[in-house]
Amino acid sequence: MSKLIIHLLLVAIMTPATTIINADKEVYICNGPHSKRYHYHKHCRGLSKCSTYIYKVSLEEAKEEGRTLCGWED
């Protein structure tokens, strides 16, 4: 295997998933009264108990609301 391919594989493995996912910058949030997290995937386990509606918002908006990344997705 060439050194370039090995290097690219190492970079891909060592790059945090959040760096890759942040590229689209849209996340999901539950609008429930106790909701404090944002989620990269609409079907995340953390959204399974949402008692209201699930909304798609920008990552920036979710962070401005004080939300943090769901523990199932970090």
pLDDT tens per residue, range 37-55: 999 999 999 999 999 999 9
Average pLDDT score over residue span 14-22: 54
Per-residue pLDDT, 31? 93
Does the global pTM surpass 0.95? no
Residue 36 CB contacts under 8 Å (≥ 6 apart), including other chains: 66, 67, 68
